[in-house]
Amino acid sequence: MEAIAIGCDHAGFEYKELVKAHLIERNVEVLDKGTFSSDSVDYPDFVHPVVKAVNDKEATSGILICGTGNGVAMTANKYQDIRAGICWSKEIAELIRLHNDANIVCIPARFVSSHMMTDIVDTFIDTSFEGGRHKRRVDKICVC
């Protein structure tokens, strides 16, 4: 069974719960890395466990949710093998998978509807990396 790690800050808590239920309906194993309420928290505390799950192959991919998507993306992208992209539409979710081989999707809770949220998640999960000329580009991302 596919496993997806999910995490959020206080701004993303309600959507995280919605996405979690949606993934369970899709028969996807969810590794919930928090937060577990809408109380104010520091987003990096929940990004690092999601990234660790993806890096350790405990999860095939990750979902991070915060107010703008930027804080979680900036934190996740500090890791060498992580390619986290901010998505506010299903078209962007498709392209970050097709062209950038993104392994974490970052969603701005304050700028998308609940319907858009699940469309973004479904598109991200259902889209595979295209490879080809895009692999050459992805291979040049890391400053190792």
Of the residues 10, 22, 87, 99, which is catalytic? 99
99 among known catalytic residues:
yes
Q: How many CB atoms lie within 10 A of CB 111?
A: 12
66 among known catalytic residues:
yes
* The two structure tokens encoding residue 57: 């192959």
- Angle of CA points 90, 110, 25, to nearest 5°: 55
Q: How many CB atoms lie within 10 A of CB 76?
A: 24
Of the residues 66, 106, 115, 142, which is catalytic? 66
Q: Which residues contact 57 (CB under 8 A, 6 or more apart)?
A: none
First to last CA, the chain: 32
Catalytic residue positions, numbered: 66, 99
